[in-house]
Amino acid sequence: MTRSPYQLSTPPDVLARLHPRLRTYFGPIPPGHVGRGEGVFDVVGTPRRWLWPLLVWFARDAVMFPVWERDVPFTVENRPARVRRGARAGLEERTAVRARRTFRFRSGTRTMVDAITAEPEGLVDHLGRRGRVSALLRAEVDPLGPDAGALRLVSTRVTLRALGRGWRLPAPIAPRVTLSERFDDEADVQRVSLVLSAPVVGTLYRYEGAFRYAVVPDADPGGGR
């Protein structure tokens, strides 16, 4: 991978404002290497138990889980990939990064998977093993202030794949994804926060925590399949 999906989909002047340590995370992963991180999430899930039956459905596809836990150890693994997307899925390949986030909940270990791709319309996150839910993301980097150098990804469109096609959810009912990644120089850790919210209802699901990350030689090239 010579350029990452983030580099292919985001204006260079925006990425130039990234904290230097985040450029490794959002940059290309060389052939024969993998990005690995380990840390702890302060919180994961939602305390709204009436949402848990719906989250059971998402858990089957490794998207979200019916939990509300604190101090959850986790690992993240990013691998470069080429994935097939679009109307002619058999013909079109996209530059991608496949991510696996493994949570060590008190109830057991669970893994969340997704694929970030560079699409003609921009950066797209395909959630779960089958990528049935996808979000078009807008990248923002503040040049000044307390969040200077942090990357914020905000969904501008959410699509659900069903019956052989993609259905764009109307804005009044579409959930909104907000992901923030920043580097804490004092603690020497990368901090991440994800919030999934919906109109009227508010926060549906979230996780936030800190981890250390590095790109290292890949001892298991088939591990991301």
pLDDT digits (tens, 9 = 90+) for 187-224: 999 999 999 999 888 999 999 999 999 999 988 766 55
Asked whether the predicted pLDDT for residue 56 surpasses 60, the reply is yes
Q: What is the mean pLDDT of residues 41-49?
A: 97
pLDDT the model gives residue 79: 94
Angle at the Cα of 148 (from 75 to 114), degrees rounded to 5?
A: 30
Residue with more model confidence, 220 or 126:
126
Q: What is the mean pLDDT of residues 123-127?
A: 95
pLDDT the model gives residue 224: 52
pLDDT the model gives residue 225: 52
Asked whether the predicted pLDDT for residue 83 surpasses 80, the reply is no
Angstrom distance (rounded) from CA 64 to CA 187: 28
At 96, phi and psi to the nearest 5?
Answer: -145, 165
Cα 137 to chain center, whole Å? 10
Asked whether the predicted pLDDT for residue 112 surpasses 70, the reply is yes
- The per-residue pLDDT of the chain, averaged, comes to 90
Q: What is the mean pLDDT of residues 37-41?
A: 98
Range with the poorest average pLDDT among 70-74, 145-149, 156-160, 208-212: 145-149
Q: What is the mean pLDDT of residues 54-75?
A: 96
Angstrom distance (rounded) from CA 94 to CA 78: 16
pLDDT the model gives residue 142: 87
Q: Is the separation of the CB atoms in 120 and 92 below 8 Å? A: no
pLDDT the model gives residue 92: 65
Residue ranges covered by each domain of the chain: 5-201
